[in-house]
Amino acid sequence: MGQATGCRGYNVKDVALFIDSTTILPTHLMREHAVTVMPVPIYAGGREYRDGVDITAEEFVSLLESSTERPSTAVPGLGEFQSYYERLLDQHQAILYPVPSHRLTGLYDAAIQAAEQMQGVTIVAVDPPEHWEKAVFAVRSDEPGLEDRLQSLSSLPPPIVAVMNTGYASGASGLVAMAALGAMDKGQPLEESIRRMIMAKRNTNIYFILNTLEYIVDRVGQLGAFLGTLLRIKPILTFKDGLLEDAARVRGKTQAKRRMIELLRRKAGERPVDLYVLHSLAPDEATDLLEQAGNAVTVRYAWVDDIGASVSRYTGRGGLGIAFTVVR
């Protein structure tokens, strides 16, 4: 494994962005910036698939609709993480890995555990679970001395694996990841990429519509799902402190889309946003939603993309979402 040498004050600039397939990024950006993607396992119909490799979005939703057991995403084995780490650290000084909310997935813990088993690797954990006692360099985005803590990163010896809890999922995690790309392209130190991601995390959120209650029976119970479907209730979900919660419940999808845009407008105010409209096999609806959002707020950059298996397993076919970062 390659390792940079030097005295104290390493100023690590050669950083690789690494994501897993539960984080959604525009394909052209991944290609332009050489982002490495690790597919997560999907278990469906008694088989294991690799997300985005062995199974398409259409195939996943079809299995969701036809299988007696609900398809689910899983966490890759530690050896899988290590294989990616080793390949990337042979070519780079550091890896920066933004992970969906650690409160919803075991990816964060697995990413750290895999790095702990690799000799000579320095581990940086951004926003780890509270009361963590692991032997890592921890950075908390809400700590009073954040800037000093970020500056201290320059004293850490490479190779470095930095894992960040984005607190979100899907395109919202993608927006946090995107914030690092500019710093990487300019060859700025690792701490600048992490700083930009922390700033993006503070100003990012996502709203998405459940097109059906069929796949969240765990949350609402069978009777609640039945009554909700009967009354055409469309819950709008969001993230708070890394957990999913209801932002609103309205009748009908048209009203749900309007409410979602109202919530976006309330968060953005007069400030511009970077907007990521997400969908589960509903590209035309997503394009229309983007147009409606563009009439309601000032949009700096915008993308439309598939919402990803980790969220579409709850939304079902026709699910829609708006992830956004308020530009400050």
270/141 same-domain check: no
Q: 128 with 108: CB under 8 angstroms?
A: yes
Q: What pLDDT was estimated at residue 232?
A: 58
Q: Which of 202, 223, 258 is the last residue of a domain?
A: 202
Q: What pLDDT was estimated at residue 6?
A: 40
Instruction: Give the pairing type, strands 204-209 and 320-326.
Output: antiparallel
User: What does pTM read for this prediction?
Assistant: 0.91
Where residue 275 sits, what CATH number does that domain have? 3.30.1180.10
Q: What pLDDT was estimated at residue 12?
A: 87
174/194 same-domain check: yes
CA angle 211, 178, 116 (to 5 degrees): 100
Question: How confident is the model over 29-70, as pLDDT tens digits?
Answer: 999 999 999 999 998 878 899 999 999 999 999 988 887 787
Residue 10 lies in a domain: no
242/265 same-domain check: yes
21/137 same-domain check: yes
305/188 same-domain check: no
Q: Which of 175, 202, 229 is the last residue of a domain?
A: 202
Question: How confident is the model over 153-191, as pLDDT tens digits?
Answer: 999 999 999 999 999 999 999 999 999 999 999 999 999
If DSSP codes are grouped into helix, strand and coil, which group holds residue 272? coil
Q: What percent of the chain has pLDDT over 70?
A: 91
133/227 same-domain check: no
Supply the DSSP string of 169-208, one letter for each residue: -HHHHHHHHHTTHHHHHTT--HHHHHHHHHHHHHTEEEEE
Residue 172 lies in a domain: yes
Q: What pLDDT was estimated at residue 252?
A: 86
Q: 169 with 321: CB under 8 angstroms?
A: no
The tally of domains found in the chain comes to 2
126/248 same-domain check: no
Where residue 189 sits, what CATH number does that domain have? 3.40.50.10440
Q: What pLDDT was estimated at residue 210?
A: 83
Residues of the chain predicted below pLDDT 50: 1-7, 217-231
194/213 same-domain check: no
Q: Which of 151, 171, 202 is the last residue of a domain?
A: 202
Residue 234 lies in a domain: yes
Q: Which domain holds residue 161?
A: 15-40+75-202
Residue 68 lies in a domain: no
